[in-house]
Amino acid sequence: KQEVTQIPAALSVPEGENLVLNCSFTDSAIYNLQWFRQDPGKGLTSLLLIQSSQREQTSGRLNASLDKSSGRSTLYIAASQPGDSATYLCAVDLRGGTSYGKLTFGQGTILTVHP
């Protein structure tokens, strides 16, 4: 059974800092890995999707890397802003058989960026 773990569970940083969120998964046979953002009372917003054949994806101040063999992904946020405050979720997609698109999520990292 695929398990996804995110560290740290919570993180509080001053504005402007660069930070790294970590995600690890137990089954390396993933199809892709996605990072989501969730604001309080809202749904999930997809930030970055990394295919299993890729090593990293970048979007603006966000960079996500994937090391499939070691079962790890990191989300790097540069020059953090108060508007980045949210819960960040990592999810893996195993695919195959009847498991198309079934995402397995980590517990999330609650990020607070204070001015």
Partner 1 sequence: GAGVSQSPSNKVTEKGKDVELRCDPISGHTALYWYRQSLGQGLEFLIYFQGNSAPDKSGLPSDRFSAERTGGSVSTLTIQRTQQEDSAVYLCASSLGITGKGAYEQYFGPGTRLTVT
Q: Where does this chain bind partner 1 (CB under 8 A)?
A: 31-32, 34, 36, 41-46, 49, 51, 89, 91, 93, 98-108
Closer Cβ to partner 1, 92 or 113, answer by number: 92
When the beta carbons of 36 and 71 are compared against partner 1, the nearer one is 36
Query: What does the DSSP assignment read for 5-60?
Result: EEE-SEEEEETT--EEEEEEES----SEEEEEEE-TTS-EEEEEEEETT-SEEEET
Nearest distance from C-beta of residue 15 to partner 1, angstroms: 28
Rounded Cα gap, residues 41 and 60, in angstroms: 25
Min dist. Cβ of residue 60 to partner 1 (A):
17
